[in-house]
A and B are shown apart, each in its own frame.
Chain A
Amino acid sequence: MRLARGALWVFCGLVGVWLVAPALIVLPLSLTSQASLVFPPRGWSGRWYANFFHDASWIGAFWTSLQVALLVTVVATVIGTAAAIGLTRGQGRGLVAANALILSPMIVPGIVFAIGSYATFLSLHLVGTLGGFVMAHTVLALPFVVIPVTARLRGFDRRLELASASLGAGRWATFGQVTLPLVAPGVLAGALFAFVTSFDEVVVSLFIQSPYLQTLPVKMYSSVSRDTDPTIAAAASMIIVLTTVLVLVASYLTVRRSRVR
């Protein structure tokens, strides 16, 4: 029995290493002094980061990604929070269909959405535009806002709103001073997930990019298939650090939510 238990833990340890290995090797890989991607590196240097910040195409892609992700965060959070309130407070049979529609971008294969968007964007002249990226990424980010906000709205005691209204607060005052602070952690988690979703997106972006406007993952995709320059590793490390920090903050907010209750 003890032997079986030991074997189980060794097995879980190996699976655990395999799960985190890709995320862990990227950072040392970016600090190599060599001009090739060898792990583990034999010497250390920061020159690939210098390269990243001096190369117009890398730093340009980074700025594009940042701009798109910030705009997506704002648009998806506002629209998604409104939709979540509509879903939890509205009534009618249409709500089930609306909910299914909002969640469907999570299930429809990326490539299907990608070629559809490409066709549509070609006729609307949105290919290679900031607006095009923002619209496509917002569609993908919406479920990640609606899910935590809806959960939060379902979880709280609506009598608090009634109490506020009965004490004379108007609808907007109740929303601003009672509802919003109570759902804030869900909204914030949703906003962070929206940012990460947009910042990471590759498949749709590959189609709707142009040589003049690329996002960082698209730039990575084209250099991964072309050359073995460790600048890619520097870009990857920056993505990892940024998304890790954001996801940790978002999870902390969702964990704290359950503890408060």
Chain B
Amino acid sequence: MAVLDELTTRGGPASAPADRVRARPALLLLPALVLLLAFFVYPVLTMVWRSLTDPEPGLGNFGWFFTEPANLRVLARTFTTGLWVTLITLALSYPYAYAMTAAGQRGKAVLTLLVLVPFWTSLMVRTFAWQVLLQDTGVVNRALALVGLGPAHLIRTETGVIIGMTQVLMPFMVLPLYAVLSGIDLGLVRAARSLGARPVVAFLRVYLPLSMPGLAAGALMVFILSLGFYITPALLGSPTDALLSQQIFTQVSGLLRWGRGGAMGVVLLVATLVLIGLATLAQRRPARRRGTS
């Protein structure tokens, strides 16, 4: 590509129009950037500004957020829910992604299709369906009763929220895991086995470390996305177990406390950005290590 560019831009008369051609493509970004500045960057900055100025200038809203025990409980609950969702998603996705690598062409296609279904089932439709499935007289409870485990109270509990969130976040874990697992040379595992390693040891010492990049990428993505969920906890959870997004909604929409809602929004945004920064760093480091060793 670079060679071609050089070939086409070299030479006397061609170079002047070539410069013009090159300057123009970047201008095509202008409409998108103007739209994003006006309807994305400006609104988000407005929220940050409100958190610092409403009702009066200063850090009062952040002081309120970090000293009120109820808020800290919400923050802690948001993180623990995210952690549970990440762990369960991982536990379900690891064998699933492994099966995708072991399956034949058709099996792999079916498994991929299934895991993509939650991706494009409308969020509202999916949450509504979980509400029906998880209700006290719903199918899930009747199935649980059949095997002697139920009836359990699922709707309007943290369990219900975790079930609903895990289902929709599966693709974000399965796809990066599959990308890494499908590249692992199973000959390495066989070599470990032939050298006398028990299956468990071969898995823990060879396969698992090799799958770490996909595992870390998927887990971080799921955790980050889980922090911002609003609809699922609002409809499947209980109002007394509210997560950060719900509290923001209540502050702004119900109580018109723009400053407080904004401060909570800033906390959520900063947590998200810090985690994304960590994810980027974590992805860069293994590459460097490989490069030097």
Residues of A within 8 A of B (CB): 8-9, 11-12, 15-16, 18-23, 25-26, 29, 37-40, 78-80, 82-83, 85-92, 94-95, 98, 101-102, 104-105, 107-113, 115-120, 135-136, 138-139, 142, 146, 158-159, 162, 171, 196, 199-200, 202-203, 207, 217, 220-221, 224-225, 232-233, 236, 239-240, 243-244, 247
Contacts and interface: CB of A to CB of B under 8 A. Distances in A.
A102 B249 CA distance: 26
A200 B123 contact: yes
Q: Which of A21, A22, A23 has the most CB of B within 10 A?
A: A22
Given A16-B111, A91-B26, A171-B21, A82 B123 contact: no
Contacts of A110: 228, 230, 245
Nearest to A115: B252
Contact of A203 (B25, B167, B230): B230
A23 B117 contact: yes
Given A111-B248, A220-B124, A221-B124, A83 B95 contact: no
Contacts of A113: 40, 43-44
Contacts of B42: 116, 120
Q: Which of B41, B127, B272 has the most CB of A within 10 A?
A: B127
A29 B46 CA distance: 43
A173 to B, nearest CB: 14
A21 B114 contact: no
Given A25-B132, A83-B32, A89-B25, A120 B46 contact: yes
Contacts of B196: none
30 contacts: A8-B98, A11-B96, A15-B96, A22-B133, A22-B167, A25-B133, A26-B125, A26-B128, A37-B132, A37-B135, A39-B138, A83-B29, A91-B25, A98-B29, A98-B32, A101-B41, A102-B32, A107-B272, A108-B44, A109-B227, A111-B248, A113-B44, A115-B262, A117-B43, A119-B43, A171-B21, A202-B123, A203-B231, A221-B235, A244-B120
B29 A87 contact: yes
Contacts of B129: 21-23, 25-26, 29, 236
Contacts of A101: 33, 36, 41
A180 to B, nearest CB: 14
Contacts of B281: none
B29 A86 contact: yes
A162 B268 contact: no
B4 interface: yes
Contact of B125 (A8, A20, A240): A240
A21 B27 CA distance: 47
B111 A119 contact: no
Contacts of B252: 115, 118, 207
A85 B224 CA distance: 30
A112 B36 contact: no
B47 interface: yes
B122 A243 contact: yes
Contacts of A108: 44, 269, 272
A135 B272 contact: no
Contacts of A196: 120
A220 B128 contact: yes
B275 to A, nearest CB: 10
B128 A19 contact: no
B228 A12 contact: no
A8 to B, nearest CB: 5
A86 B34 CA distance: 14
Contacts of B96: 11-12, 15
A240 B132 contact: no
A72 B41 CA distance: 19
Contacts of A98: 29, 32-33
Contact of B35 (A9, A23, A135): A135
Contacts of B285: none
B115 A39 contact: no
Contacts of A162: 4, 8
Nearest to A22: B129
B245 A79 contact: no
A231 B153 CA distance: 26
A91 B20 CA distance: 12
Given A119-B258, A239-B125, 13 more contacts: A8-B98, A79-B35, A89-B22, A90-B28, A95-B29, A101-B33, A101-B41, A109-B268, A139-B40, A146-B32, A207-B253, A224-B127, A240-B121
Q: Which of B35, B121, B139, B252 has the most CB of A within 10 A?
A: B121
A135 B39 contact: yes
Contact of B25 (A40, A90, A146): A90
A224 B47 contact: no
A86 B25 contact: yes
A111 B167 CA distance: 20
Contacts of B99: 8-9, 11-12
4 residue pairs, one from A and one from B, having the closest CB atoms: A109-B228, A116-B43, A90-B26, A22-B129
Given A22-B133, A91-B22, A107-B276, A82 B31 contact: yes
